[in-house]
Structure 1
Amino acid sequence: MNTNSSTETTISPAGVLLLRGSATTPETSYYEDLDKNGWCVVKNVISPEKAAYYVDQAYSWLEGFGKGFDKNDRETWKPENLPAFAKGGLFNRHASGHEQFAWDIRAEPGLIDVFAKIWGTDELAVSFDGVNVSLPFKADAPVDRKPWAHVDQSPLRRFKYCVQGIMNLAPNGPKDGGLMVLQGSFSRYNEFWEAHDHEAPPGGWSKRNGYHHTQAQLQWFYDRGCTWHKVEAGPGDVILWDSRCVHYGAAAEGDQPRVATYVCYKPNRDVAPDKQAIRKEAMENFDNTTHDAADVKQTGSRIAGKLSDDERTVPSKPPVLSHRAQQLAGIAAY
């Protein structure tokens, strides 16, 4: 079994998966459902009015590409009128993580406090993640709507390691696109890898923080009673999920758009000096990054290469960061 020998895993009488990854990792957080089920919704982290403001900023950002999208004209809500995106509305290119509204969201005191309660410290590092605007496209629009069940954690890390988040900005109901979680998969994370160690590739499982499940592997979860659940949230709510929870982002199916940003914070003490250097380079070049703010990797248009000549590698305007945001970015000391 390819586990970390320094990690201890137990099940409490209440059924909560207690996972100890390091001396600085709290076994449990402020959020009982997150610890028990692997996900939860934190209500009213920012006001509905502030959420609506950020929605407008996201739409204005898309209009700024000059491809024909008009936030006030739904007839223009077509893939060809938008910059390159993935999975129904995932904008992880175009320096999206460094737009002013994305940084303003990351610096929201209420949002920072959510993650401070998870990790037991407010000295945090934040990822430079992307934006999601999943519009209700017509059924025949050329959009990838296929489920992509995965976890955002290496099979070698069988302990509490990363908690991801979505700052939800628009009403998000059952048909509006958004987070799908495989209910019950979280508590079976270690059991799954133990049962599937024989499927590891030559050389063993990858250290890369991500794994996409096959249909046969998903059936293993289904056979144990795990079912898909669409997470719903209101404007200003934050959706949290542990990176060991099997999940994917669904495309919008109804007539309402999904608007959100991805937010992920980890204790700054867990960011090694070489990773801090990568974070600073990403800031200097306006690169997006992976979810994990500590084991950070640069992504985005400059790193992956442009898909078109008009693809941006810098934000529409260089963001102006508050001192708190600079601390989160790793360019100002705590």
Structure 2
Amino acid sequence: MPHYESEPKINTSITTGDWRDDLFRDGFAVVKGVLSPEKAQSYKQRMFEWLETFPYGFKASDPSTWGKDHLPENMKGGMYHGYKVQHEKVIWDARCEPAILDVFGKLWGTDELLVSFDGMNLTLPAADMPPSEPWPHVDQNPNRKGMQCVQGILNLAPNGPDDGGLVVVKGSHGMNETFFKLHPETKGAGTWGSLDWHGFNEQEVGWFKQRGCEEIKVCADPGDLILWDSRQIHYNKLPVSGNVRAVMYICYTPASFASKEDLEKKASCFQDRIGTASILPYRCGQRSNNLQTHWPHANIFSQVDKHIRLGKPDLYRRDRPAHEPEENKLILKLAGVEAY
């Protein structure tokens, strides 16, 4: 087996006296004030400006254009993973924020990190927002033991109980391995293979709740960083408040976890501005064998845009980001192009 499938470096049994205690115990944590409210607002504004680069008529200053007719293709009300968004300068700028790197460096005990090529979420309070069912899932297969991937959300707008956002089943990370020993995947549900995604139906989530796990909507302020164990059951919830949700999905793991082959794949994806996190629709009770990953160091799959918008083929194409990132030393190392 690849070396990154061995026991991870993090000892989750220790007490740290900081946010890591919450992460180890509950499976998630909110790291407060990683960015200033002013910097968070700046990133949010740049995300709105990104929507204005498309030929669909969206105007940030005109809420009448905030409906699906004026937006690029997205899913779950505002999750963007197409159009080379993973390599937009605004997202790379956020990935290089020293305070964010410090959090993950503290978690893993190293500053030699790789970052996921993930997208963003800008959910707008439009009247034509389609309904969305919960899609509880995990992003780590039980053959990987312990905490080997910690996902992150950089929160850029106020996010309270009634706002759209992350829902976790608190403590489910600690029961992940036991669940899959008692509930092996059924015929038609697929096999783990090299993938690290599994969707749960309502009855399966109920198994965790019966054992004391609680479904929690995670709340955060602008500039907060939300972290969660990839073994934790989680999903995205649409808002009922009418407020904007603005987040970036950012995850780092040690570069030492990556195989030579995966580093080569990752570097190629960066040079071609290809994303490696393909989030796919999920319906309760159904599972998917399609590519799904938030991992920085493994599961390096080249994402192909669907080019389907409003249910029809979209003739508009984007082969490069609207705003290219600056290829400095830090970015090239985080992307796996240059070695540490």
Structure 2 distance, partners of 1:198, 1:82, is 38
* Aligned residue in 1 for 2:324: 318
The match for 2:108 among 119, 137, 161 is: 119
TM-score (norm 1): 0.88
Of 315-324 and 254-263, deviating more is: 315-324
* Aligned residue in 2 for 1:223: 210
> In the alignment, is residue 296 of structure 1 matched against residue 296 of structure 2?
no
The match for 1:329 among 311, 314, 335 is: 335
> In the alignment, is residue 259 of structure 1 matched against residue 262 of structure 2?
no
Offset of 1:104 from its aligned partner? 0.1
The match for 2:315 among 296, 302, 309 is: 309
SS of match in other structure, 1:68: coil
CA displacement, residues 17-58 of structure 1 (integer Å, 9 cap, x when unaligned)? xxx963652223851100011000001111111111100100
Structure 2 distance, partners of 1:75, 1:33, is 41
Offset of 1:158 from its aligned partner? 3.6
Offset of 1:225 from its aligned partner? 2.8
> In the alignment, is residue 137 of structure 1 matched against residue 140 of structure 2?
no
SS of match in other structure, 1:236: coil
Structure 2 distance, partners of 1:23, 1:212, is 24
Structure 1 distance, partners of 2:252, 2:321, is 22
* Aligned residue in 1 for 2:6: 22
Offset of 1:326 from its aligned partner? 1.7
CA distance 1:198–1:72, change in 2 (3 Å):
closer
The match for 2:270 among 274, 280, 283 is: 283
Counterpart of 1:314, as a letter, is R
CA contact (8 A) 1:89 1:251 kept: no
CA contact (8 A) 1:97 1:129 kept: yes
CA displacement, residues 72-95 of structure 1 (integer Å, 9 cap, x when unaligned)? 121211011110001111101110
Of 49-58 and 154-163, deviating more is: 154-163
* Aligned residue in 2 for 1:102: 91
SS of match in other structure, 2:107: helix
Of 193-202 and 235-244, deviating more is: 193-202
Map 1:150-229 onto structure 2 (within 5 A).
150-197=137-184, 199=186, 205-229=192-216
Structure 1 distance, partners of 2:32, 2:179, is 31
CA distance 1:142–1:236, change in 2 (3 Å):
closer
Structure 2 distance, partners of 1:309, 1:298, is 24
CA distance 1:73–1:101, change in 2 (3 Å):
same
SS of match in other structure, 1:298: coil
Offset of 1:155 from its aligned partner? 3.1
Structure 2 distance, partners of 1:311, 1:284, is 18
- Give the 4+ runs in structure 1 shifted more than 3 A: 20-24, 198-207
Structure 1, unaligned runs of 5 or more: 7-19
* Aligned residue in 2 for 1:241: 228
CA contact (8 A) 1:169 1:235 kept: yes
Task: Report percent identity of matched pairs.
Answer: 38
Structure 1 distance, partners of 2:301, 2:266, is 8
Counterpart of 2:172, as a letter, is S
Counterpart of 2:27, as a letter, is G
